Amino acid sequence: MRTPIILVAAALTLATAAPAFADGQGATERRTAAFMEALERKNLTALSALLDPDVTMTLPLSFSGRKEDAARFTGKAEVLGYAKNAFAMFGKINFVNKKVTVSKDGKSSFVQADGDFTTADGKPYRNVYVYHFEWRDGRVIRSAEYGNPVTFCATFPATPGC
């Protein structure tokens, strides 16, 4: 029995596409890990290299419990300003129990992690995080940081909105 040529062509197409498809996921997973590592090292230069100039970042969980963003940052300068402020607030930034999930097309990634941080004055800060990143041409174009606002406000009660 002869295999129809269309089935052979389809099999060859899938076989040759699979490595490129997997590489897209692998590249996104590596970039996501690099982003998280840059946060842990407080490395603004490395973060900047991973951000699109027109990046947007939101903190979707409000301090009030209402359906509103706690904060929104537009453009690389604002996002880096947020990171710089966070770096000043924390002595140690360490994400543990990290789980990275990448979409099949490599255009989106999620990180679920526990924070094992200390504040700038050395007090423990434990929060839970989910990050969502959307990628284009190897850079973040949109991101969202989900952290427990109750934990944040209990640690930093003087923050506006807490």
How distant, in Å, are the alpha carbons of 7, 12, 124 from that of 57? 45, 41, 26
Is the pTM value of this prediction over 0.75?
A: yes
Q: Specify burial of residue 57 (Cβ count, 10 A radius: 0-12, 13-18, 19+).
A: buried
Residue with tokens 């109750």: 150
**Hey, where are the domains in the chain?**
16-155
Query: What pLDDT shows up at residue 161?
Result: 86
- What SS3 state is found at 36? helix
Fold of 16-155: Nuclear Transport Factor 2; Chain: A, (3.10.450)
> What is the pLDDT at residue 64?
84
How many CB atoms are closer than 10 A to CB 86?
14
pLDDT tens-digit profile, the chain (162 residues): 454 444 333 333 333 333 333 458 999 999 999 999 999 999 999 999 999 999 999 999 998 888 889 999 999 999 999 999 999 999 999 999 999 999 999 999 999 999 999 999 999 999 999 999 999 999 999 999 999 999 999 999 999 888
Closest CA to 129 of 148, 143, 142, 150: 148
N- to C-terminal Cα separation, the chain: 73
